[in-house]
Every structure is written in C-alpha cells, then in structure tokens.
Structure 1
C-alpha cells in the first residue's frame, strides 16, 4: 500500500472535538495513512481504522497489513493511530482523519479469514442502508493452540459461525466491524473515558 500525507494533527484534533460526546484529553500519538491499490481519485469509499501501541503486536500487525493487500475490494485507505493507550480516543482520532463514507474498524492483531471480507461487508452495508453496524464471524483460527481452541469453543460469545445470509445479532465488535461514518459521528463516536467495555457501549448507542 502507498503511504500518503496525514492532515495537520491540530486539524484532526479539532475535528475530533466536533463530534466526540465523551472526550478525554488530546492524545499524544502518531497517525499513519496508506491507500490501497484501488482507492478512487476522488477519495476512498472505505476508511479502515486501526489503533495500535507499536505497529508491531508481535508480528500480527504486519500480517494484517499483508492481508489487507489481498482483499478483493481495494477502494480503501488505512489510518493507523499509534501510541495512544485509550482505544476509544485512538479510533476517534482515526475517524476524524477519515475520508471514506464507511468506516471499518480492526484490531492490530485481527486476522481476516479470507480475501472477500471487505467485499462482503461493503456489499451488505450498501444493500441495507438501515444497518448501523455490521460485524463478521469470529471463528477459531486453524493454527490455534489446544487451550485457545477450547476457550473459544466453550466460553459463550467467544466464537461465532460463518453465516450465508444477514443475521440480526449483537455480536458485532471492534476486531472487525463496519459503521457508516455519519452514524459513527452522530452517536458521538467512541467513549474515550471508559477503559473497557467499548463494544457494548457502541452497540447500545447505535
């Protein structure tokens, strides 16, 4: 992916304060922006937001960036906010810099299960503009250890099966979810005050 300039950090901070309902102090963080190969000249359709501590995460971040390049849908930009210890604030900062009409939020250790993840998300969101937030199946990784596999299979809500049609569910969560940018801003973005529980908070607000 191609690195591209990031807007003035003060301008991003000012834009963040416009829509954030529960704001914390201004962050001390680094913003990185990349464009995928199919990003439109008038701006990308999708903005992928990734908060990360160090842009490494033991190699998972690099793996994720490689998987982004393998997606069949390529009309997107990636905005990485590095070094903010508040996930909600990092995501609000990324959203303030976003240009796409659809936001896709990923964790820095997310594993995209196949190349059509973005294509499926975008297709569903465009076909159903009444959807405020959509997620994906959370399957057990094929290389998971026996312990991880057992935990994901036995603890409620730690995994979900792949479906062939849209399902009304409260399982959409930050490791991989899509939200229209106007919806994200209308609900006040992420809560920057709470250190945990961002998933249920955002779902409730939407």
Structure 2
C-alpha cells in the first residue's frame, strides 16, 4: 500500500512540475519585455537590452550544464526530465541575444558585421558558441535521438566548447570588474568535473 501511494504521488507530481519549470523559464523574457515596453531599461536601452539578453543566455546555459552535476552529486535523477526543456530555453535566449545584437547593433548590415568581427573577438566567440549550440537545439527531440543513436551523445558533447566560448564572450568584453566573469568561469569548471570524470571512464 505504501508503494502504491508513493507511486501515485510521483505521478501527480509529474502533472505540475514541467509547467512550473516552463513558466519559470519564461520569467526572464517577461522581464525583458516589461523593461522594453515600459521604458525601464535606463538611458541607453539598446545596451541594456543587449546586456540583459546576454546575461540570461549564459545563465540559462549554466542551468542546463548543472543538471548532470547535480544528478551526480545529489542523486537528483529527476532533473533529467527537464534537461531538454532547459536546453531549448537556453537556445532560445541565446538566439534572442543574437537577434537583438543583429537588429540594434549591426542593423542587419553585413559591412558593419564584418567590421565588428575584425575589431571585436568577443563577437566571434559568441557567434561561434551560438553556431555550436544550434545543432544541439535542433536534435533535442525523440526522432533525432533514435536516428542518431550513439552519435547523439557525441554531438551533445558540444556543450563543452559552447560553455568555453560563452565564457570567452563574457571575459573579452569586460571593461572594469572581472568578478562576474570569474564567477562564471569557476562555475563552469566545477560543473564540468563530474562530466569529465565520467567521460574518461567510459570512452
């Protein structure tokens, strides 16, 4: 009877936890829209919008990257149920950041794009991170998992260079304090440790 009750609780929990995570993932977007519509982005709204979307993009990537580590350290295997959704939201916020930059900084002008790429290496790092993230987003579905088989896991190891390039994108544009970049770097290294150990034992 206890086992049946516990199982019933688990099934009931599965009815609300994913919608809750979905809503929580939308909160950064709500904050961006709220600031843009009500003029709450300060005296330089374009810069604020670029920084805001970029911050949420790397934070979303860190959340996805933390799933395996938390599972390894704390045994929270249930987190795996949300990894696909979290990964798609990370791709969404990274794409939103790219869209904002292309619209307000580059004005979709390839002459400006090429000039900025030659002068600002952090833009190259950020764009490269987005390009590597894209195939992981596209293959985050059951069909791709079945179709790719073992290669699907190999493809999704692109998360390592994505995190490294995202960190470079942050650190290369620091003008004063490196504290935020240092925190991001430490988090990436710590969260990568369980993954690297498992990869060494299974390759």
Task: Note whether the superposition's TM-score is higher than 0.5.
Answer: no
TM-score by length of 2: 0.27
Higher strand share: 1
